[in-house]
Amino acid sequence: MVRSSRQRERERVGTDENTEETEQDEKEACPECESTSLVASADGGELVCDDCGLVIEEGTIDRGPEWRAFDHSERQQKSRVGAPTTQTMHDKGLTTTIDWKDKDAYGRSISSKKRSQMHRLRRWQERIRTKDAGERNLQFALSEIDRMASALGVPRSVREVASVIYRRALDDDLIRGRSIEGVATAALYAACRQEDIPRSLEEVSDVSRVEQKEIGRTYRYISQELGLKMEPVDPKKYVPRFCSSLELSEEVQTKANEIIDVTAEQGLLSGKSPTGYAAAAIYAASLLCNEKKTQREVADVAQVTEVTIRNRYQEQIEAMGI
């Protein structure tokens, strides 16, 4: 009984101390302006008030490396860690690779016998990286995503998101009965929409080995099964890219965004293709700004038909009262 009472007393004292420390952390404020928005610097050496800029705490601990580097190549040579993990590789980049250079640690060329031995080691190392058919399929799918993303010119963040979406579909067994290329293309299309870097289905299908109808069907299936929250694409996201391809000025781009805003408020955007809507707004803006482009030129860039541009154009100029 005495021992259990002491244990309860220690637990109570420890709880009180933790509560006091939490209250002190919550009450910590700037002595100058009494603001509680305190920000630590990137290296963790200083605690600065975000409102008045007062340095509250200043440490002298340097958390960086002990060596100096003046360019990227020198920094890479002195670094003692590898590359960060990535979802774009089937093993997340954690396996080792044998360098293709036939040189030793001192940069000297190796003998022909060693060269043939290293060639065999490289071949076996590539074979054992994938231990079963599932990993080989994943490796093929991620390489397809990387190839299509490079062709579309999207940043690396989109490739990472697309790889995560494909892995989730693989874990939920959504690929059974569907082609690997189709699911990979649908994952890339979904990642573009999530990262606000829209690419139309026509653009994605041009770099894919799958038909557009199958891409759309697979995209709707995986987005529903995985619960991906996809907002409607804003036509203004396409305007800068289309204007750049057509070599139009900033004035045309601003006018096209204005046309889209005014007409969308009147409900004309509902049920319309965002690429066709943006193309029609650019065509109307080019006429208003005396930088005329033909409907054929705009249609080729936006990958829509001239009929679509004419129909959207008539609706927009009537809504604008032009």
Spatial distance between the Cα atoms of 143 and 150, rounded to a whole number of angstroms: 11
Residue at 286: amino acid letter: S
Three-point CA angle 163, 164, 165, nearest 5°:
90
Contacts of 175 (CB under 8 A, 6+ apart): 169, 183
**Contact (Cβ atoms closer than 8 angstroms) between residue 279 and residue 298:** yes
Decide: 121 and 114 in contact? Cβ < 8 Å: no
* Bind-site residues: 30, 33, 49, 52
The strand pairing partners of 55, in sequence order, are: 48
Residue (of 282, 281, 275) closest to 244 by Cα position: 282
Interatomic CA distance for residues 276 and 281, integer angstroms: 9
Whether 186 contacts 222, CB under 8 Å: yes
In the annotated binding site for Zn(2+), the residues are: 30, 33, 49, 52
- Find the DSSP H helices in the chain: 2-27, 72-78, 112-128, 133-152, 156-171, 180-194, 201-207, 212-226, 239-246, 250-265, 274-288, 295-302, 306-320
